[in-house]
Amino acid sequence: MKTEHEVFGGPPGTSYDVARWRDDFPILRERVHGKALVYFDNAATTHKPQAVLDAEARYYAHDNANVHRGVHTLSQRATDAFESARAKVQHFVNAEAVDAYEKLLGPHTRLVAVTHLSNALGSIVPVKRVIDLARAKNVPTLIDGAQAVSHLAVDVRALDCDFYAFSSHKIFGPTGIGALYGKAARLKAMPPYQGGGDMIRAVTFEKTEYNEIPYKFEAGTPNIAGAIGFGVALDCVSAIGLDAIGNHERDLLAYATREVSCIPGLRIIGTAQEKASILSFTLDGVHPHDIGTILDREGIAIRAGHHCAMPVMQKFGITGTARASFAFYNTREEVDKLVAGIHQVRRMFR
Ligand SMILES: *Cc1c(COP(=O)(O)O)cnc(C)c1O
């Protein structure tokens, strides 16, 4: 009996070995009129690998019972196996994630906070769907756009989120400042969280009247120079245009993905269909920090570690990744240097 990983001779990433995979189909060893079978009628029906034959035989031999009916052991085993097949189908067509979130949305949900673009994986989260489902249950939404705004054109009104936050320093502006968009009705209903100059309209011993939004939330002397720099950074990005930036970065990411995919032992972490500008990877037998250190000697700066996303790392069964993240000023030539650098790491750890 084969385990799941053995079904096709190895874990994902193993190179395409047709002979090994044919081995799993006993019927392909069949001879017809004394000749080796050449089966080209796969459109009519396909052959079944040994693992499929074994699973069916095992069910009839050990677990056979009707599903969802009985409380007895066989019925429970049959139900578990049947339902686990449903989960595999959902996963196969990427249908299961959306549902899991819907189940989490309950009467006790106070806020849905979700990232727009994962800093660890590069996955673009379908936030519109997330927001629509929350809205249907009257739950306010907060989107973390720290990674998204420099790669995607963001329209908070089209998204219809309640809050959208992003940092200036990730979009070519100064550190220490960022922006929080909020729907006016939400912000008006919220009390100030800090006291200081500018947030008060009138004060008497009887009562305090707060300033209107946004000043109510901007107590004290602000980071004036930072705000001005932040604004100019947004001008720069708008002058190039996020559509043009998106196209350039998509090309870079596709190119880099293709180039690193042939490096032996390299595993890309984060392979969502919709992704942007982040190439996270591990290299068999090499700690991500060592990758970072060796690349640094070649003048190549990447990030190594868990990227403040430990649960994500846990889900992939790793402690960290090496992460190259691209911006509109990066080039294919730089990607070539990265790829050469990773090859060098590979050689050093062979
Ligand atoms: C960088 C980052 C933050 C934190 O922003 P800072 O301004 O650096 O504190 C939050 N969320 C995501 C997705 C980020 O990439």
What pLDDT tens digit does each residue of the chain (350 aa) get? 444 444 444 444 557 889 999 999 999 999 999 999 999 899 989 999 999 999 999 999 999 999 887 788 898 889 888 988 887 887 777 776 587 888 899 889 999 999 999 999 999 999 999 999 999 999 999 999 999 999 999 999 999 999 999 999 999 999 999 999 999 999 999 999 888 888 888 888 888 888 899 999 998 888 999 999 999 999 999 999 999 999 999 999 999 999 999 999 999 999 999 999 999 999 999 999 999 999 999 999 999 999 999 999 988 889 999 999 999 999 999 999 999 999 999 999 98
Report which ligand 1 atom has the smallest distance to the Cα of 118: 13
Q: Ligand 1: which residue has its CA nearest to atom 6?
A: 167
CA quadruple 42, 43, 45, 51: dihedral positive or negative?
Answer: positive
Beta-strand ranges (E) seen in the chain are: 31-32, 35-36, 112-115, 141-144, 163-167, 178-182, 200-203, 208-210, 266-269, 278-283, 303-305, 321-325
Residue 112 token pair: 């849905």
**What pLDDT, on the 0 to 100 scale, is given for residue 68?**
80
CA 167 to centroid of ligand 1, rounded, Å: 6
User: Atom 5 (ligand 1): residue with closest C-alpha?
Assistant: 167
Determine the pLDDT at residue 96.
60
Closest by CA position to 349, among listed 304, 258, 289, 287: 287
What is the structure's pLDDT at 98?
83
Nearest CA to ligand 1 atom 12: 146
pLDDT of residue 2: 42
Q: How many whole angstroms separate alpha carbon 49 and alpha carbon 39?
A: 14
Q: Give the number of the atom of ligand 1 that is nearest the alpha carbon of residue 178.
A: 7
Q: How far is the CA of 218 from the centre of ligand 1 (A)?
A: 20
Distance from the CA of 13 to the center of ligand 1, in angstroms? Answer: 32
Pocket test for ligand 1, best of 118, 127, 170 (most atoms within 8 A of CB): 170
pLDDT of residue 3: 42
Taking CB atoms and a 6 Å cutoff, what residues make up the pocket around ligand 1?
Answer: 115, 119, 144, 146-147, 167, 169-170, 178
Question: Ligand 1 centroid to 291 CA: how many Å?
Answer: 23
Specify the residue with its C-alpha closest to ligand 1, atom 9: 167
d(CA 134, CA 128): 10
Cα 264 to ligand 1 centre (Å): 32
Please give the number of the atom of ligand 1 that sits closest to the Cα of 168. 7
| d(C-alpha 160, C-alpha 112), whole Å | 13
Q: Which atom of ligand 1 is nearest to the CA of 117?
A: 13
**Catalytic residue list:** 308
Pick from 162, 181, 249, 118: nearest CA to 126 = 118
Residue 329: its pLDDT value, please?
96
pLDDT at 14: 55
For position 52, what pLDDT does the model report?
Answer: 94
The answer to whether the predicted template modeling score (pTM) of the entire model surpasses 0.85 is no
Query: Which amino acid would we find at residue 91?
Result: H
Q: Which residue has the least CA distance to atom 1 on ligand 1?
A: 146
